[in-house]
């Protein structure tokens, strides 16, 4: 028997005809969910049901290997045609279901927590830039003999934006503790969030070598070095950590490299194993930093 899955139903066939079938509902939402499940390599309940008491099933999709013998090159799958219109399923219905499935997949990706982190970091930078501009304007205006009621709106705006900065930082810290506890404990929540932002996502960060993590955020300096020569950047965003920026210049590169190595391991743990190994990493980090300072 041959198991064939179409967007409109499941079919069990012999070499010449359809022996059994389970047609899906013609509801767009139902079909879109079936499409998404097959895209995610899930076995549909209808597929399990139709082959429940059948022996010697042949399949042509890797996701169906558990249900039968995988033979994608079997000529039957190319020759035997099952058309949607024969079962009163239209191309328009397929088009609508595909569009809905795409929308659901896109929305799900956009809702992923690390992408929210990236948006928060970008917003935080915008707030900080706005705060700096307001401060400069406030300082300039304050040098003039100005009635309180005229300058008060500017003071209010400056105060409001600074309150929003603090609120957003707290939100980023809370999310980072949940999403990336190892990274957070090694480098801090805000710097960790910026690393995720510069790498375009925590999964990409987890697959980066330590040498790349070390200079994340220093892309302009790295590009300039490759184009014009000179000295390459020794650190990027991680320079914001006090153990790096408060140490002598001659050992900053080594300490930054040590941090980057531990962050690479921490990111892998956060993404792949979900284990909290931050204590071991931090102990190892502090030991190595101490050794570097004592050299």
**pLDDT, tens only, 256-282:** 999 999 999 999 999 999 899 999 999
- Domain limits, CATH 1.10.287, in the chain: 113-179
Domain 2-110: which CATH class?
alpha beta
Query: At residue 39, what are phi and psi to the nearest 5 degrees?
Result: -65, -30
Task: Give dist(CA 78, CA 69) in Å, integer.
Answer: 17
pLDDT of residue 76: 94
Condensed to tens digits (0 to 9), the pLDDT of residues 118-151 reads 999 999 999 999 999 999 999 999 999 989 999 9
- Domain limits, CATH 3.30.420.220, in the chain: 2-110
**What pLDDT band is residue 295 in, cutting at 50, 70 and 90?**
confident
pLDDT of residue 249: 86
- Domain limits, CATH 1.10.246.90, in the chain: 180-295
**What pLDDT band is residue 46 in, cutting at 50, 70 and 90?**
very high
Check whether 195 has a pLDDT greater than 90. yes
* 292 within 8 A of 205, measured Cβ to Cβ: no
**What pLDDT band is residue 233 in, cutting at 50, 70 and 90?**
low
Mean pLDDT over residues 7-17, rounded?
94
pLDDT of residue 236: 78
Global confidence as pTM:
0.66
Check whether 231 has a pLDDT greater than 80. no
The architecture CATH gives domain 180-295: Orthogonal Bundle (1.10)
3-state secondary structure of 121: helix
The mean of the pLDDT values for the chain is 91
Listed in sequence order, the residues at least 6 apart from 44 whose beta carbon sits closer than 8 Å to its beta carbon are 5, 10, 34, 37, 38
**What pLDDT band is residue 224 in, cutting at 50, 70 and 90?**
low
pLDDT of residue 172: 96
pLDDT of residue 111: 66
pLDDT of residue 234: 64
Check whether 235 has a pLDDT greater than 90. no
- Of 1.10.287, 2.60.40, 1.10.260, 1.10.10, the CATH number of 113-179 is 1.10.287
pLDDT of residue 230: 62
Check whether 157 has a pLDDT greater than 80. yes
pLDDT of residue 14: 93
pLDDT of residue 259: 94
For 181, other C-beta atoms within 10 Å of its C-beta total: 20
**What pLDDT band is residue 292 in, cutting at 50, 70 and 90?**
very high
DSSP-derived secondary structure for 185-253: HHH-HHHHHHHHHHTTSHHHHHTS-HHHHHTTT-HHHHHHHHHH-SPPPS-SGGGGSHHHHTS-HHHHH
Check whether 57 has a pLDDT greater than 80. yes
pLDDT of residue 255: 92
Mean pLDDT over residues 168-180, rounded?
95
Q: Where are the alpha helices (DSSP H) in the chain?
A: 28-39, 45-50, 75-79, 91-110, 113-142, 148-179, 181-187, 189-198, 202-206, 210-214, 219-228, 242-245, 249-268, 278-294
């Amino acid at each position: 028997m041959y198991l064939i899955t179409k967007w409109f139903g499941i079919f069990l066939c012999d070499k010449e005809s359809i022996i059994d079938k389970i047609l899906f509902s013609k509801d767009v939402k139902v079909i879109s969910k079936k499409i998404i499940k097959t895209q995610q390599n899930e076995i549909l309940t209808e597929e399990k049901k139709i082959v429940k008491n059948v022996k010697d099933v042949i399949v042509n999709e890797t996701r169906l290997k558990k249900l039968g013998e995988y033979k994608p090159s079997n000529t039957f799958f190319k020759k035997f045609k099952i058309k949607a219109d024969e079962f009163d399923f239209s191309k328009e219905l397929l088009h609508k279901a595909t569009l809905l499935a795409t929308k659901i997949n896109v929305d799900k990706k956009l809702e992923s927590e690390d992408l929210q982190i990236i948006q928060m970091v970008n917003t935080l930078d915008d707030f900080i830039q706005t705060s700096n501009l307001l401060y400069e304007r406030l300082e300039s205006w304050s040098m003039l003999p100005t009635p309180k009621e005229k300058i008060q709106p500017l003071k209010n705006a400056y105060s409001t934006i600074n309150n929003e900065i603090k609120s957003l930082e707290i939100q980023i810290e809370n999310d980072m503790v949940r999403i990336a506890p190892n990274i957070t404990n090694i480098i801090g929540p805000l710097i960790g969030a910026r690393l995720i932002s510069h790498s375009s996502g925590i999964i990409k960060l987890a697959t980066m070598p330590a040498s790349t993590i070390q200079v994340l955020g220093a892309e302009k300096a790295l590009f300039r070095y490759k184009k014009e020569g000179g000295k390459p950047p020794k650190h990027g965003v991680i320079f914001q950590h006090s153990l790096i920026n408060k140490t002598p210049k001659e050992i900053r590169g080594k300490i930054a490299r040590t941090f980057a190595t531990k962050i690479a391991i921490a990111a892998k743990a956060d993404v792949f194993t979900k284990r909290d190994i931050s204590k071991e990493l931090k102990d190892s980090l502090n030991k190595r930093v101490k050794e570097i300072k004592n050299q």
